[in-house]
Structure 1
Amino acid sequence: MVFRTLFSVIVVFDIVSKQIIVIRDKLPYLKAIVQYKGELNKDYPDTYTWAKFLELGKSVEDSVVDNIIKEQKPGQCAVLIYTSGTTANPKGVMLSHDNLTWTTKALLDTIGSDKAEEVTKCTISYLPSTHISGMSSLAAG
């Protein structure tokens, strides 16, 4: 359940963001909610469109980002996604940096890395970008 997590930033689509707004007071570590697509219907504190969130990053020095990258270790959580909950309650799935790297490499090995640029120009995935295979097709492109 979301209440038991230490999220500092949550990226959502519009329909979910309304649900997050309702429970945000129960998320003490939450610093920002980022709506991935479209414009915000209403102004909420620390809630941003994707474009405005990217603007925030422009003020961060490259050395800060470089240090964060250097600190990353295999097995550390890169992203936390949730299952759809179609057969039971949704479950959190932690994907590590090396998991994402391996899966993307396996995808490129399967399609042929020499054809990766050509293939990723026009890729159709029935899986959402929150699924490991959906993420890999985005990363490969």
Structure 2
Amino acid sequence: MATSAFTHRNDASTVVELQSKIFHQKVVLRNHLNLEDLTQADMAELAASLPHFENIKVLNIKRFKAGEVEAKAFFEALGSIPLQKLCMSSAVHAEAAGQAMVKALQELDVAAFAALTELDFSYCRMDHGLGEATRTTEG
């Protein structure tokens, strides 16, 4: 919103306040979230906003980019929500994102993900450590 142009600049604070209010009303109600084509900046913003998704159960992300910083922030944020199913897929050429995600996963405290019953990393290649597989765990 800081870079948005307003016809009347004095409307900016009201618009920002209303947008924040609507965002918080909507995210609390969501239990599924599907996202596509996320940049590294988008992944960082997602990590910052995930704790607001108090009732999210399923998160699907297709085609994304992430470095180690974004991957770590993403998984740390996931630990604060009751997620049951996480599906992430990306193009095979996105090796850096896959490596960053696997590294972040390896450093996790799995106790934070007690509600997670399904983990699908269909973007990972065998040389990343997880392989192309869907991991299902029973609580």
TM-score for the superposition, normalised by structure 1: 0.29
User: What TM-score do you get using the length of structure 2 for normalisation?
Assistant: 0.29
